[in-house]
């Protein structure tokens, strides 16, 4: 029996029961029949979407097989689909991409022309996402026993949403999920009991939401068995919040009353059932732990029964691993799933492994997956089927979804690490073309270049120019922020740019960055003010000398537009002559510019 296989793979003495058996069976079935399931998925998608305007364009003539599909339908990017997406957003209800009505747009953290990309979704997609979520705990239970004996302290948030001109909601996928009936009315599951009430998660004011979620976590500190946020940056933000607000939180606990900063009636109502009486002992404990300067291991001090951290630390989030290790005293970090606004992809079958060993197994029922060998353009190479990828090779993920994305380049680079049954497992290598990222923001080289250009206009007519620049994501502080190193050519040495002008340059750079960056700065406060560090003349030449001494070719040397290698950042920092921070918040509103 296949479930026995799963139990045998489990390092703990655990025999799954009920719902877990069903989920593990499902995983076995999917991973043993990858190619069969993929064939079925593409057949279903092409049959139901054959009358869409988009697919009709390519003359599939009723064929639903992969060979015909691949020979006729092109591989595309978001920008190729923008006209169709815009028409749907403007209210055109005809079958453009999907035969099922598009019910909302999921706003991706990937951007196009500075705005979040809009991903079409149909009603039934929610069930697909729910299905993937339902597989996570049965897998986790194979590795960590007793998770039904306590609670999960997860910091979960909704973000601002807007409506497209045609009236469809446009919001991030997790906001859509937390606001869904599937989430709000989820049946009681002893393995999935959260300390945060729904009302706290669903509050659009991120500060009230965070405050009440943290308060619940403190009140239930002994029951907490796992701590998490979607991404590592979110959990560190919560620790940073505790650092600034522990006195007020301890005060609420000591008096048994909720801070006046909470004005949301739904939170007040739900908290009145949780914060029911004063608890001086707990307040004293929080004070004694938090008043210390050294916060090493704070997570295990406050939540002593925590078995692991549930956070994604793969991809751009890997930069946060050292800080999480510091605050948690080295607790395991579980990266449980790999997903996006376009589609959810897969799960980690060994969630308690080292971050460097995390691999995701794509569930073949989620969408139709193809793999473009990395650094080869689609015209020059056949795309590879999910079942045919080769161990060790890197590929770009291309998907075809039920909601009407056809052969769409997601932009993620994955490397095949092995197989689970016949399902390939992938390491997330990186997202294409991304230079800087603090949390969900993604800034590419062209955006950074534009921001530097726009800001340097402020240096005025006096002839001062930015002659070289590079950047660095500073994540050792909470919240993290962008650091941009500038080497200036100051024509009139008697009149270097004033501090005020330099500060305005910082702000102008922020104004020029994409809407996800600005939302993180303004609404979520998850990114701190942008910093410009002016370096001494000749620093970038030294940087080149250093690269050449390490084997770079003189002819092909290009200034790296982002640096993270410590000797390089140390070199740059040792040449800094002045530092400047953005003095204000850039503009941002939930409404799209276009
Ligand atoms: P979004 O479209 O904003 O939902 O972001 C989805 C993107 O986040 C994916 O395409 C990946 O680049 C990244 N991502 C999602 N899950 C993971 C993960 N487990 N590890 C690394 N990166 C991830």
Sheet architecture: strand order including 465-474? 465-474, 481-489, 531-535, 576-581
Percent of the chain at pLDDT exceeding 90: 90
Give the orientation angle of helix 232-255 with respect to helix 321-328, to 10 degrees.
30
pLDDT in tens, 53-85: 999 999 999 999 999 999 999 999 999 999 999
- Can you give the three-state secondary structure of 218-269, one letter per residue? HHCCCCEEEEEEEEHHHHHHHHHHHHHHHHHHHHHHHHCCCCCCCCCHHHHH
Sign of the alpha-carbon dihedral angle for 309, 311, 313, 319: negative
Q: How far apart are CA 309 and CA 291, in angstroms?
A: 24
Q: How many CB atoms lie within 10 A of CB 172?
A: 22
Locate the ligand 1 atom nearest the alpha carbon of residue 348 and give its number: 19
Contacts of 304 (CB under 8 A, 6+ apart): 221, 222
517, 441 Cβ separation under 8 angstroms: yes
Q: How far is the CA of 329 from the centre of ligand 1 (A)?
A: 27
Q: How far is the CA of 498 from the centre of ligand 1 (A)?
A: 41
Say yes or no: CB of residue 410 within 6 Å of ligand 1.
Answer: yes
Q: How far apart are CA 179 and CA 182, in angstroms?
A: 8
Q: How far is the CA of 489 from the centre of ligand 1 (A)?
A: 40
Nearest to 403 by CA among 133, 169, 104, 177: 104
> What is the pTM assigned to this prediction?
0.94
Q: How far apart are CA 594 and CA 591, in angstroms?
A: 9
Say yes or no: CB of residue 510 within 6 Å of ligand 1.
Answer: no
pLDDT confidence of residue 1: 45
Q: How far is the CA of 559 from the centre of ligand 1 (A)?
A: 28
Tell me what the pLDDT averaged over the chain comes to: 95
Say yes or no: CB of residue 412 within 6 Å of ligand 1.
Answer: yes
Query: HSE (CB half, 13 Å, CA atoms) of 425?
Result: 15
Q: How far apart are CA 249 and CA 101, in angstroms?
A: 46
| Site of tokens 């330099």 | 502
Length of the chain: 594
Nearest to 246 by CA among 290, 301, 200: 290
Report residue 460: phi and psi, to 5°: 85, -175
Kindly report the protein residue whose alpha carbon is nearest to atom 19 of ligand 1: 338
Mutate to test the pocket of ligand 1, among 177, 338, 349 (most ligand atoms within 8 A of CB): 338
441, 527 Cβ separation under 8 angstroms: yes
pLDDT in tens, 189-246: 999 999 999 999 999 999 999 999 999 999 999 999 999 999 999 999 999 999 999 9
pLDDT in tens, 547-566: 999 888 888 888 999 999 99
Kindly report the protein residue whose alpha carbon is nearest to atom 13 of ligand 1: 340
pLDDT confidence of residue 6: 66
Residue spans of the chain under pLDDT 50: 1
Locate the ligand 1 atom nearest the alpha carbon of residue 411 and give its number: 10
Query: HSE (CB half, 13 Å, CA atoms) of 362?
Result: 31
pLDDT confidence of residue 7: 63
């Amino acid at each position: 029996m296949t479930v026995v296989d799963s139990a045998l793979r489990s390092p703990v003495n655990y025999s799954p029961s009920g719902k877990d058996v069903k989920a593990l069976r499902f995983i076995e079935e999917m991973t043993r029949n990858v190619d069969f399931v993929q064939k079925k998925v593409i057949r279903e998608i092409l049959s139901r979407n054959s009358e869409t305007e988009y697919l009709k364009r390519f003359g599939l003539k009723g064929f639903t097989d992969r060979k015909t599909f691949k020979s006729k339908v092109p591989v595309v990017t978001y920008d190729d689909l923008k006209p169709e997406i815009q028409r749907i957003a403007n209210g055109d209800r005809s079958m453009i991409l999907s035969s099922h009505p598009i019910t909302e747009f999921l706003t991706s953290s990937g951007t196009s022309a500075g705005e979040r990309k809009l991903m079409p979704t149909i009603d039934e997609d929610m069930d697909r996402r729910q299905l993937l979520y339902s597989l996570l705990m049965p897998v986790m239970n194979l590795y960590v026993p007793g998770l039904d004996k306590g609670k999960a302290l997860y910091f979960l948030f909704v973000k601002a949403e807007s409506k497209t001109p045609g009236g469809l909601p446009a919001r991030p996928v997790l906001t859509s999920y937390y606001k869904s009936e599937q989430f709000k009315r989820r049946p009681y599951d002893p393995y999935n009991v959260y300390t945060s009430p729904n009302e706290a998660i669903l509050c659009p004011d991120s500060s009230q939401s965070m405050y009440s979620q943290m308060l619940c976590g403190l009140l239930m500190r002994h029951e907490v068995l796992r701590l998490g946020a979607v991404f590592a940056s979110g959990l560190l933000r919560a620790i940073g919040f505790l650092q600034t607000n522990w006195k007020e939180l301890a005060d609420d606990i000591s008096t048994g009353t909720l801070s006046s900063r909470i004005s949301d009636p739904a939170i007040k109502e739900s908290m009145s059932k949780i914060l029911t009486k004063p608890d001086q002992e707990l307040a004293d404990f929080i004070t004694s732990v938090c008043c210390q300067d050294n916060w090493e291991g704070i997570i295990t001090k406050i939540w002593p029964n925590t078995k692991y951290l549930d956070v994604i630390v793969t991809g751009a989030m890997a930069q946060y691993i050292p800080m999480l290790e510091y605050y948690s005293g080295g607790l395991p970090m579980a990266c449980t799933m790999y997903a996006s606004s376009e589609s959810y992809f897969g799960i980690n079958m060994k969630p308690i492994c080292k971050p460097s060993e995390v691999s995701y197994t794509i569930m073949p029922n989620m969408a139709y997956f193809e793999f473009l060998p990395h650094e080869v353009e689609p015209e020059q190479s056949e795309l590879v089927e999910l079942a045919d990828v080769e161990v060790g090779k890197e590929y770009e993920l291309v998907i075809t979804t039920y909601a009407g994305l056809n052969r769409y380049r997601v932009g993620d680079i994955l490397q095949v690490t092995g197989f689970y049954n016949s399902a390939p497992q992938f390491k997330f290598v990186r997202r294409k073309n991304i230079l800087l990222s603090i949390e969900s923001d993604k800034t590419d080289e062209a955006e950074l270049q534009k921001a530097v250009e726009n800001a340097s206009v402020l240096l005025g007519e006096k002839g001062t120019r930015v002659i070289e620049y590079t950047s660095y994501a500073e994540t050792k502080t909470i919240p993290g922020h962008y650091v941009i190193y500038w080497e200036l050519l100051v024509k009139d040495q008697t009149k270097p740019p004033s501090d005020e002008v330099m500060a305005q340059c910082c702000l102008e750079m922020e104004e020029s960055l994409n809407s996800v960056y600005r939302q993180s700065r303004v609404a979520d406060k998850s990114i701190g003010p942008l910093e410009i560090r002016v370096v001494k003349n000749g620093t970038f030449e030294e940087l080149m000398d250093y690269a050449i001494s390490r084997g770079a070719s003189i002819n092909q040397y290009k200034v790296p537009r982002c640096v993270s290698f410590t000797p390089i950042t140390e070199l740059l920092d040792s040449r800094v002559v002045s530092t400047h921070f953005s003095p204000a918040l850039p503009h941002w509103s939930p409404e799209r510019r276009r």
